Chains A and B, each alone.
Chain A
Amino acid sequence: MNDERTDPMDERTIQLMRALDGDLDAAERAAFEARLADDPVMREEWQRLSRAREATMGMRLRHPPEEVWDGYWTSVYSRTERGLGWILVSLGVIVVGGWAVWTWIGELLADTGTPLIVRLGMIALFLGVVILAVSVVRHRINVLKTDPYKDIQR
């Protein structure tokens, strides 16, 4: 995570924050106000932070249309089904496609009517695609083991 550097909180800042969030009891509040009266720097900081707090206090996160909640769970469930669907479709394409290519290569080699150079070219093309695919998959696996950004969704 992109964690920022934040300085350790001093006692004065803790007091400011607790006052902003209404977290001081009566005695602490009185001590805080006395300190504010004596410390112009702290008073200025208090005014700035109070303004920031007031700006957000009147706001809320915008509500979505009510219909969103009606189909929410159905949509979540559909996503899991779609995920399974894609895995099955991918598996099917690999198995059926692989079998089709294998059969086609076999027929091509057996076909004495096709010039030898074309048959060799086809075999080279097929082997090249296989080597490239294996290389890409191997590289992805290696990167996944070490890439700090592997969880980033593109």
Chain B
Amino acid sequence: MSRLAARYVDASEASLVQRASHGDNTAFGELVRRNMQAAYYAALGLVGSPDDALDLSQDAFARALKHAAKLDPGRPFYPWYYAILRRLCFNFLRDRKNRQRLLDEQGAWLAYDLSGGGPPEDPESRLGREHARRIVARALSRLPEAQREVIVLREFEDLKYQEIADLLEIPVGTVMSRLYAARRALADALEEL
């Protein structure tokens, strides 16, 4: 199960949200602990910089705490929080200085998943893989924000179309069309390899 999908099935969340909305910082802290990893990785996928992802995800929680009275106990916490986070991340990306810096850093936020084990890799394959990682990272960083967001949620957070649609409050068809456009752009970039 993905990091994001896991939070939709937690029965005790409504009680925490209820308490947090009445100013209980301990309950809000528990919501932060439950969601901090998903928040960090979501921000990392959007801005492509580990330090900035940490900063933005924490800043979004601080803003969420400031507006905790607006929390609705009948709805899950994460989509509400994510709306704050993505706005901060998009604003951050729209700052020309930040965008330039991120282009300089591209690729540092992606890694190969070697958890499956396998035989030791020869230096040539490793170089080829590193090159592919940089190409993918560069192609992702050049995508329009909305396409990048959808492909990160699908490929790295492993969300289904419907889960992405629910999180972003857009139709499934829009999710698919953004994902299609993102994959085509990625395919174009990979032809450089």
Contact of A72 among B33, B111, B173, B191 (CB under 8 A): B33
The answer to whether B66 and A51 touch across the interface, beta carbons within 8 angstroms, is no
Find the A residue at minimum CB distance from B53.
Answer: A64
Q: Is the C-beta of B54 less than 8 angstroms from some C-beta in chain A?
A: yes
Interface of B is mostly: helix
B interface residue count range (under 10 / 10 to 19 / 20 to 34 / 35 or more): 35 or more
Stretch with Cβ within 8 A of A (4 or more), from B14-22, B70-78, B91-99: B91-99
**Interface of chain B residues 102 through 160 with chain A (CB within 8 A):** 108-113, 132-133, 135-136, 144-147, 151-152, 154-156
A79 & B62 in contact (Cβ 8 Å cutoff): yes
Partner-binding segment picked from A9-17, A115-123, A126-134: A9-17
CB neighbours (8 Å) of B54 from chain A are 64, 68
> A80–B66 contact, CB under 8 A?
yes
Beta-carbon contact of B65 and A58 below 8 Å: no
What CA separation (Å) do A17 and B88 show in the bound complex? 30
Chain B nearest CB, measured from A126 CB (Å): 36
- Our count of residue pairs bridging A and B at CB distance below 8 angstroms stands at 138
Does chain B have a CB within 8 A of A55? Answer: yes
Please state if B111 and A59 are interface contacts (CB–CB under 8 Å): yes
Binding site for A on B (CB under 8 A): 25, 29, 32-33, 36-37, 40-41, 44-45, 50, 54, 58-59, 61-62, 65-66, 87-88, 90-92, 94-95, 108-113, 132-133, 135-136, 144-147, 151-152, 154-156, 161, 173-174, 176-181, 183-184, 186-187, 190-191
Interface residues of A (CB under 8 A from B): 1-4, 6-9, 13-14, 16-17, 20-21, 23, 48-49, 51-53, 55-64, 68-69, 72-73, 75-77, 79-80, 83, 149, 151-154
